[in-house]
Amino acid sequence: MIMAKQSDREFVTMTEQQKRARRNRSVALGLGLAALVIVFYVVTILKVDPSALFNRQM
């Protein structure tokens, strides 16, 4: 961890491993949230009309 003083604030430069770990967590969180959106979207449709996704006349 490298610290550099800039004005009255101190900053931390992340190591490569820390950057990789943060990216890994961010991607997983993004995928998890996207899955949650899809799940709640489908659940809502099924709750409103249980036959909406099945038995639909084409």
Partner 1 sequence: MAYVDKSAVDDAAFRLSEATAADFVELLKPRVMSLVVFTAFVGLAIAPASLNPFLALVSIAAIAIGAGASGALNMWYDADIDAVMSRTASRPVPSGRVTPGAALAFGLVLSALSVMTLGLVANWLAAAMLAFTIFFYAVIYTIWLKRSTPQNIVIGGAAGAFPPMIGWTAATGTIGMESVLLFLVVFLWTPPHFWALALFKSGDYERAGVPMMPNVAGEASTRRQIFAYSLLVAASGVLPAAFGYSSWAYGLAAALLGAGFVRYAWDVLVAGATDLKPAKALFGYSLLYLFAIFALVLVDHIAMRMLG
Q: How far is the CB of 58 from partner 1 (least distance, A)?
A: 20
Q: Based on CB atoms, which residue is closest to partner 1, 34 or 46? A: 46
Note the residues at the interface with partner 1 (CB under 8 A).
1, 3, 9-15, 17-18, 21-22, 24-25, 27-29, 39, 42-43, 46, 50, 53
CA dihedral (27, 32, 34, 35) positive or negative: positive
Q: Based on CB atoms, which residue is closest to partner 1, 8 or 58? A: 8
How do the residues of the chain divide into helix, strand and coil, expressed in percent and rounded to 5? Answer: 55, 15, 25
